[in-house]
Amino acid sequence: MPLALYALTAGAFGIGVTEFVIMGLLLDVGADLHVSIASAGLLISGYALGVVAGAPVLTVLTARWPRKTVLLGLMAIFAAGNAACALAPTYGTLMAARVLTALAHGTFFGVGSVVATGLVGPDKRASAIAVMFTGLTVANILGVPLGTWLGQAFGWRATFWAVALVGVAALGVILALVPKDEAAPEASDWRADLAAIARPVVLLGLATTVLGYAGVFAVFTYIAPALTRIAGFPETAVSPILLVFGGGLVLGNLVGGRFADRHLVGTVLGTLAGLAAVLALMGPALHQPIAAVLFVGLLGAAGFATVAPLQMWVLEKAAGAGRSLASSFNIAAFNLGNALGAWAGGAVIEHGPGLGMVPLAASLFPLAAIVTALLALRTDRIDAARSASLSA
């Protein structure tokens, strides 16, 4: 893999830390700002909705900019947003700062996915996306546990200051390693791109992403209270256990990308089925400490095994549309799933049947994603048959 690809990984690392570290600090943020766990969990939903809103809008507005310039500008927004989080005096201002930070997320991964696939041959495109997304997994192995420890030791604001510095460092790495665009991006009609993305097969692909990832975040958003209140771990154990989750992310991400290069459709369906199984079994496992740690790792592996296949699948289904826009929409879909999952998990906690039943309830999301994916495949076959008959 070319060195420039790992510069994208560095940017993904910074974004991954700020997206995921809040899960380990929910109890601290809630106590400091005097809000409930479910309300603190909405900081994840707010971030995700910021990605959903920012991804397509910023991608359209920057469509004719050199892609390297876009990536650098997005990392600058990211660093400024995390500094604003560290300074936020109230829950409302923290939510606003999280949304500001999120604006960089979707377009970075959308444009970055296109840049990544352009750096390698056709037989390694899904693996290239997986390498870039490895930044998210490494963020969970190193950044999130360290950020959780830092927040517990020195206050959650210290964590956001540290992440802002990570953003500045990532900006420097991208500046140094990502090559300048050989030519300006081709001008495209965003209305035509949106029309192409609005085709039923593409929309079903995006819906598959939303539903699949909602299951992951319905559980992961509340992983700290689940480990402390159900599994019985002390709060200081949350950070080390998140290392296990991060290890699962790395394994699942790379394996999912490798298999997707060989058999994309089978990998999409297989990883979603695996995720549903892990979630269904995780609820009872949380009552046994060793099993709880094991399933935290399995959740990471099963959840991130779906990422590269789903991203590559939507890119293929959106052929003919602006690839950066299609890619950004799918990143928005991941984060819409994050928001939906965080909200659904909070609803199960506050309105019953309670924290212990969140994993089982979450397993319904990837099962629904499988049904949606099968419907997308059927729609694709019908469209292909119709096109063949018209050409004949």
**Residue type for position 337:** G
Q: Rounded to two decimals, what is the model's pTM?
A: 0.74
198 within a domain of the structure (yes/no): yes
261 within a domain of the structure (yes/no): yes
Tally of CB atoms within 10 A around 228: 16
392 within a domain of the structure (yes/no): no
Confidence bin at 14 (pLDDT 50/70/90) = confident
What per-residue confidence (pLDDT) applies to 134?
A: 79
Tally of CB atoms within 10 A around 14: 29
Cβ(252)–Cβ(302) under 8 Å?
yes
The pair of three-digit structure tokens given for residue 149, joined into one six-digit string: 């420890």
Angle at 201 between CA 197 and CA 206, to 5 degrees: 65
User: What's the whole-number mean pLDDT along residues 152-160?
Assistant: 90
175 within a domain of the structure (yes/no): yes
Question: Which of 11-15, 122-126, 289-293 has the highest average model confidence (pLDDT)?
Answer: 289-293
Helices then strands, each counted (H, E), the chain: 18, 0
| pLDDT, tens digit, 9 for 90 and up, residues 312-329 | 877 777 765 566 677 778
How far, in Å, are 46, 53, 99, 242, 252 from residue 103 at the CA level? 11, 7, 7, 26, 27
Average model confidence (pLDDT) for the chain?
84
Cβ(129)–Cβ(308) under 8 Å?
yes
Could you tell me the sign of the dihedral formed by the alpha carbons of 346, 357, 23, 128, in that order? Answer: negative
| pLDDT, tens digit, 9 for 90 and up, residues 341-366 | 988 998 898 887 889 999 999 999 99
- Total domain count for the chain? 1
Cβ(50)–Cβ(56) under 8 Å?
no
Q: For residue 31, is pLDDT > 90?
A: no
359 within a domain of the structure (yes/no): yes
The pair of three-digit structure tokens given for residue 254, joined into one six-digit string: 């790379």
With a pLDDT cut of 90, the percent of the chain lying above it is 27
391 within a domain of the structure (yes/no): no
The pair of three-digit structure tokens given for residue 243, joined into one six-digit string: 């290392």
Angle at 275 between CA 231 and CA 285, to 5 degrees: 20
Task: List the CATH number of the domain containing 174.
Answer: 1.20.1250.20
Domain extent for 7: 3-180+188-386
| pLDDT, tens digit, 9 for 90 and up, residues 161-195 | 999 998 898 888 888 887 776 655 555 566 777 77
DSSP 3-state assignment of 25? coil
Angle at 359 between CA 353 and CA 364, to 5 degrees: 95
